[in-house]
Amino acid sequence: MTYTKHIGRNIHEQRKHASLTQTELAQKIGGSQRAVSKLESGAVDPKVAHLILIADACACSIADLLHGVTARAVRTAIQHRQPSPGDTVPNPAKRKATRTTPKPAPKASGRSPKRSNSRSATQTAANN
């Protein structure tokens, strides 16, 4: 099945779920019944603007039109999911304490700091 036919089938399902006829959907989106029929059959690629209007008319999301019942089922399952007995819920009180003070500076090695190869302006002026 081509992706266009897949989207068409999803449009059909969402239209039926909203209890709309092709003619009623066409009136809501400002098109014709024939255009809705072509979209549902997969004869034409739907434009994004049409998907937005159809989603609004059918009270669904564009994801529902693109991915079908799967998108709605996943979203519903996530919203209504009850934790299983084996699920662990993070407890902020049991988190490991993190260090809030900065780490101490490394100890000096006892050697003098490395000199730079470039001369400062005062050294250059003194030597000239």
Q: Domains in the chain and their CATH numbers? A: 3-79 (1.10.260.40)
Reduce the DSSP state of residue 90 to 3 states and report it: coil
How high is the mean pLDDT of the chain?
Answer: 78
Stated pTM of the model: 0.55
* CA–CA distance, 31 with 14 (Å, rounded to integer): 17
Q: How confident is the model at residue 48 (pLDDT cuts 50, 70, 90)?
A: very high
Q: What is the DSSP string of 23-74?
A: HHHHHHHT--HHHHHHHHHTSSPPPHHHHHHHHHHHT--HHHHHHTHHHHHH
